[in-house]
Structure 1
Amino acid sequence: MLSAPAVAAAQVGECARHALLLIDPDSPSCGLVQGALARLGYQVTVLDSGVQAIGQFTPDSHQLVITDLYLPDMGGLEVLRKVKHLSPDTPVVVLASDSEVDDVVQALRLGASDYLLKPIADESVIDHALTRIMEARELAAQNRQYREQLESRNRELKEHIDLLQRDHQAGRQLQQHLLPRTPYEYPAGIKAAYRLQPSLYLSGDFIDYGLFGERFVAFYLVDVSGHGVSSALVTALIKHSIMHLLRERPLFSQLNTLDSDLTEILEMINSELLATRLDKHASMFVGVLDSRARQLHYAVAGQVPMPALVTSDGARWLSGKGRPLGLFEHGGWEVRHCSLPASWRLVACSDGVLELLTGDLLQREDDLLQLIDRSRGDLDSLCAALKVDTAESFPDDITILTLRQDER
């Protein structure tokens, strides 16, 4: 372990530091202090005038000031005040006699780093004082540098966050632009509406619907695994792929091809997700409403909860099963059919809706079905019961799609 003089000398380093020494040159302590400073690597300027010392003092040239409390032209406390006014970080050591204890206390209150009592008989007293001062000064410099670096990094982080927020806002506007109008009524008397609340800026949920000819209304709800940008990009990919397929082939135009059209969409999206190698999968509910025959053709791929059909007899879950998209080459998807009465409501929810309820999965599904039944499949009533429009945040993306047709 280094001795105190060695530590002080090491802290001085290769570059000699300067000390402005303000003591009476005739004082017996002057030579001892000056010699100790020179031995530790300081270039010492000896002055006996406070006015002259303040005139010569510059923070860049003088890293340490030692002043006697008693000077012929200016009190040492006044020298201390002026030095601290010019350079608050410059350490000041005061020299005082035993009779000047009150002034020493005042000097410490004014910011003096330490004091030495005269007469000084042992140079080690000076070594220890300088060691403490230089350690404190070095620590203060390190803390200042750390604060500056931290502030700089905080500014960079804020700029980065602002940029991300702008990008996310732009992405959210684009995703909203890709969604269909809500509510919307088709000439066949079928009304569609939805509510989509992302847990972040962007949503991994997506829905779409459209009229094909004068008879068929096709729709889907897809829930991509994960949250944020990557999941939102996959929803855009799904939208693009379906639109591209529709441009290539006249889907949902013939009654005898409706079932194969639905399975072709599921197979196409499954292939797309596997090909991206993004480790993303999706659940999906896709269907076609035949307004003339009052029949629903639909298929599910890992959909939880299942869609619910609301009639005059109450609400019930639709049947069906199928593997999620993007996990297996073949999902075993099957198309089912459901006859519809003159007046009906269809409610499809993403699994994030279940996160708004409590209990195990079966209990949550039962509670959701009861809420759907009490709301009679009305979107606004169901959202109010689930507090979708009033909650400040959601643990998962929330999407509710409703379709309805009333007896004419």
Structure 2
Amino acid sequence: MTELRQKHALFLVDSSEPASKLIYDALSLRGYIVTLLDSGVEAIGHFSPDKYELVITDLHLPDLSGLEVLRKVKRRSPETPVVVLASNSDVTDVVQALRLGAGDYVLKPITDACVIEHAINRIDEARELSRQNRAYREELEQRNHELRDHIDLLQRDHEAGRQLQQHLLPRSPYQYPAGIEAAYRLLPSLYLSGDFIDYGLFGERFVAFYLVDVSGHGVSSALVTALIKHSIMHLLRERTLFTQLNSIDDDLIEVLTMINRELLSTKLDKHASMFVGVIDSRARQLHYAVAGQVPMPALVTEEGAHWLSGKGRPLGLFEKGNWVVQQLSLPASWRLVACSDGVLELLSGDLLEREKRLLEKIDHTRGDLDSLCSALKVDTTESFPDDITILTLRQD
């Protein structure tokens, strides 16, 4: 069993003081081993913060001011409580003592031991409160340290996830043998993006592509984009898609149906908008379908920029999406621009006004990716309220 540590008090007072025995006895009854001195110089030389848990000093000692004793004790041990004894005429000194760190004061003459007991009680309560605060600060510091370690771990995980997501994205820009160039700009609002794009050449004439925007932000949305990428790649391994002109439209609907089924079955409470299409470079024709896409993709020709038509329900909300494949003949020179809805957050006004301003900027920049990003200040904005993705395809 651990022995209880004895409590020691250093008591400085003129031994002729009538209340000295009263205070001495009160300290002893409280369990203190009292060292009684009447010399301030001797007390300072005798004091050790490791030994004495309490100091009581008269403000008037034969050789030294009690304020000086208080100052020297506090300099050596700020945590040691000090009680000063003062007369009614020592109000200024009492105020000074409190400023120097005295824990309490007792006015003389002292005729009742309860007075000193109350002062010691207050000191003990203050000491206990200080101990609790110190323990709380230590615990808080420990938890802050653990939190910082946890945040560092999350940041490393997020950075690893970001690099993985970047690795899944295609090269940009990419020039296909058919003379079609695909490029994109994808900027997440957080470490990871809920937007994703992909494109590829099928056979010698078909360039397939998609832009998907998953609801929400961060890790959960990014994981859904990885699920969509994996599902499409798995479907392509099982089926021969986008290689026969007479089955292109059915292939597009099959992709949307498959992703819709995956989102509903996983029960992740996530939905997505999507623009998916195939360009037939030989026939100069675009086949495409939209699923809750806002804003609509825009086609830029010599006549200017205009929104494509089409409608269809978002993915992951309904069993049937009512998607319809549209077909559009392309001129010899054209540019196709598709944006996630986060791009609209870069513009002011209501939804119709933002869409109008976006189409104007697409028209003004002729659908050039770098020029459009510059016009929207994508590359100079430090943070975004939503993920930003712009996909462009062109043929000159």
TM-score (norm 1): 0.89
Cα 1:226–1:106 change in 2 (3 A) is: closer
Give the counterpart of 2:348 among 354, 358, 373.
358
Partner of 1:195: 185
Q: CA-atom RMSD, angstroms?
A: 2.2
Counterpart residue type for residue 328 of structure 1? F
Partner of 1:324: 314
Offset at residue 289 of structure 1 (A): 0.3
Secondary structure of the corresponding residue to residue 28 of structure 1: coil
Mapped to 1, the partners of 2:236 and 2:64 lie a distance apart of 94
**Identity percentage of aligned residues:** 78
Counterpart residue type for residue 248 of structure 2? L
Partner of 1:272: 262
Partner of 1:140: 130
Offset at residue 160 of structure 1 (A): 1.1
Give the counterpart of 2:300 among 279, 287, 310.
310
Offset at residue 327 of structure 1 (A): 1.2
Is residue 2:337 matched to residue 1:334? no
Give the counterpart of 2:228 among 227, 233, 238.
238
Mapped to 1, the partners of 2:169 and 2:86 lie a distance apart of 81
Partner of 1:182: 172
Mapped to 2, the partners of 1:61 and 1:227 lie a distance apart of 60
* Long gaps (5+) in structure 2: none
Mapped to 1, the partners of 2:373 and 2:111 lie a distance apart of 86
Mapped to 1, the partners of 2:369 and 2:205 lie a distance apart of 24
Mapped to 2, the partners of 1:16 and 1:138 lie a distance apart of 17
Mapped to 1, the partners of 2:275 and 2:95 lie a distance apart of 81
Mapped to 1, the partners of 2:90 and 2:385 lie a distance apart of 69
Q: Deviations over 1:355-390 (max 9, x none)?
A: 111222122112211111111111111111111111
Offset at residue 136 of structure 1 (A): 3.0
Secondary structure of the corresponding residue to residue 299 of structure 1: strand
Q: Deviations over 1:74-113 (max 9, x none)?
A: 5544432332233111111223456766655554443222
Judge which range, 297-306 or 152-161, deviates more: 152-161
Give the counterpart of 2:146 among 134, 156, 160.
156
Summarize the alignment of residues 257-296 of structure 1 with structure 2, pairs less than 5 Å apart. Answer: 257-296=247-286
Mapped to 1, the partners of 2:395 and 2:24 lie a distance apart of 100
Give the counterpart of 1:32 among 22, 29, 35.
22
Give the counterpart of 1:125 among 86, 111, 115.
115
Number of corresponding residues: 393
Secondary structure of the corresponding residue to residue 279 of structure 2: strand
Offset at residue 395 of structure 1 (A): 0.8
Partner of 2:358: 368
Counterpart residue type for residue 178 of structure 1? L
